[in-house]
Amino acid sequence: MKIAILISGRGSNMAALAECEERFDICLVAADRAAAGLDSAAQKGYKTALIDRKNYLTKTEHEEALATEIAAHDPDWIILAGYMSVLSETFINRFNGRVVNIHPSLLPDYKGLNTHARVLADKQTHHGVSVHLVTAALDDGPLLAQIKLAIDQNDTETSLAQRVLELEHQLYPAVIAALSEGAVLIDGKNVRWSATERLRTITGGVVCFPQL
């Protein structure tokens, strides 16, 4: 299975996916702005592309350029790894909805930015990570997997962010590897796992979807 990874920053989830590359082929790493993750990807030997949003007058023009670059590499899936631009329905449909995102919250709660600060401000007892199919709505789409952790009374925004990031680096490669192995079955908005072994090795949190 070939994947194209889209980033906007340092690409830590891209690096985590690269460590699991025996299960899939990273055919492209692309960014919508100058990003340290592109340098890291190039050093790992991956094909990279900078499709800088500021060089295009409109979102449509930028997405057309990005889609053309991605299509040239013919990926099976597009993986968003800290990609900060919201993709349009036209872009998503061009790739038959085969776009996946990871988000640091227990969706549908806490969509958008600053999730760690928001859950602490609301005195929530749990936080987590969601991997989902992408739609044109922000942080929306059917769940592929979700994992939660208990918030410690001494957690700060920094400590909570680090714990969540450690879960992201375990969950994302596990889900994408499971996709490549055919263990995640998708029928429209319905998602079913035929095998969950990859999720059982994750530490530091509790998988709440799929049911193990």
21 pLDDT above the threshold of 80: no
Q: Is residue 136 in some structural domain?
A: no
* CATH number for 68: 3.40.50.170
The two structure tokens encoding residue 129: 């990570």
Q: Is residue 48 in some structural domain?
A: yes
Total structural domains within the chain:
2
In tens, the pLDDT along 156-205 reads 999 999 999 999 999 999 999 999 999 999 998 999 999 999 999 999 99
pTM above 0.85, yes or no: yes
Same domain, 111 and 212: yes
pLDDT bucket at 4, cuts 50 / 70 / 90: very high
Same domain, 69 and 152: no
47-81 burial, b if ≥16 CB within 10 A, otherwise e?
ebbebebeebeeeeebbbbbbebbeebebbbbbbb
Beta-bridge partner residues of 209: 146
Same domain, 152 and 121: yes
Q: Is residue 39 in some structural domain?
A: yes
- Coil vs helix vs strand at 202: coil
SS3 of the chain: helix, strand, coil, percent, to 5: 35, 25, 40
Q: Is residue 30 in some structural domain?
A: yes
Same domain, 114 and 83: no
Same domain, 108 and 210: yes
- Residue 195 has, within 13 A of its CA and on its CB side, a CA count of 10
Burial of 128 (0-12, 13-18, 19+ CB in 10 A): buried
Q: Is residue 135 in some structural domain?
A: no
* Helix residue ranges, H only, 50-156: 59-71, 89-94, 115-121
Same domain, 65 and 118: no
- Coil vs helix vs strand at 127: strand
Reply yes or no on whether 116 is catalytic.
Answer: no
Same domain, 11 and 108: no
Q: Do residues 29 and 16 make contact, with C-beta atoms less than 8 angstroms apart?
A: no
In tens, the pLDDT along 122-131 reads 999 999 999 9
Q: Nearest Cα to 183, choosing from 71, 63, 24, 44?
A: 24
What integer is the mean pLDDT of 106-122?
98
Q: Is residue 35 in some structural domain?
A: yes
Same domain, 7 and 83: yes
Cα angle for residues 18, 133, 199 (degrees, 5° grid): 55
Rounded to 5 degrees, what are φ and ψ at 210?
Answer: -75, 170
The two structure tokens encoding residue 24: 């899939």
SS (H, E, C) 66-91: HHHHHHCCCCCEEEECCCCCCCCHHH
Same domain, 46 and 114: no
| Structural domain range at position 25 | 1-97
Mean pLDDT of the chain: 97
Same domain, 109 and 49: no
Same domain, 92 and 115: no
In tens, the pLDDT along 124-164 reads 999 999 999 999 999 999 999 999 999 999 999 999 999 99
The two structure tokens encoding residue 166: 């450690």
Same domain, 70 and 168: no
Distance (Å, whole) CA 24 – CA 180: 6
Q: Is residue 137 in some structural domain?
A: no
Name the catalytic one among 103, 116, 127, 132: 103
